[in-house]
Structure 1
């Protein structure tokens, strides 16, 4: 059995709203499905509202709006916040990624989310609409 979760891309204005929208899509109002990239990837591993058996599909509507909201500028802000809290052994890498994003280069948060879904759930688990 395939379970489809709808991500309303028009509601996404940054990472915080993405976590809210995806949490509600999977687990209903107020639902949790990660609050950062690592937690999101962990949730896709199962046991957090997704089916333990069967396929899941994320239908990401208005994904182009989300791609803009989660673009390079927002990615740079996200990485800057992460670098401020990271262990010193990770700060240099995060600051370099932040500088790349600020310059409009490298993967965006949107790119990373798409990659995580496809890696954890399979290439057919995401429909970008």
Structure 2
């Protein structure tokens, strides 16, 4: 039987809130299901609350609200924040991504998250509603 995890997009107001919403969707109040994009991909591999047989799907309701909240502005904010923490060899690439986001170009956080959730590591897939 397929397990459906509902992401309430109306509750997503930024990236930090997204981590809370998806964590609660999978593992209940206070639940964890990643706190960065790499961790999200790792969680999808199993052992973090999803069924061992991989029979699950994410249903992202009101995804349009999330797309706005996780758009270029939030992407730029997160990239700006990460600049001080990235390895010096990655700083130029992050700066370029930041400039793109500030100009309203390049992938948004929403698009990156959707890509991860719909990739081969998410066996059940994703429904955007």
**Structure 1 length-normalised TM:** 0.95
Tell me the residue number matched to 1:94: 94
| Contact 2:19–2:33, Cα closer than 8 Å, also in 1 | yes
Alpha-carbon distance, 1:2 to partner: 1.1
Q: Per-residue CA shift, 1:81-119, capped at 9, x if unaligned?
A: 122111111111111001101100011000000000011
4+ residue runs over 4 A deviation: none
Tell me the residue number matched to 1:56: 56
Q: Identify, as 1 or 2, the structure richer in helix.
A: 1
**Alpha-carbon RMSD:** 1.0
Name the CA distance, whole Å, in 1 between partners of 2:81 and 2:44: 24
Name the CA distance, whole Å, in 2 between partners of 1:61 and 1:89: 39
Structure 1 unpaired stretches of 5+: none
Count of equivalent residues: 128
**Structure 2 length-normalised TM:** 0.95
Alpha-carbon distance, 1:9 to partner: 0.2
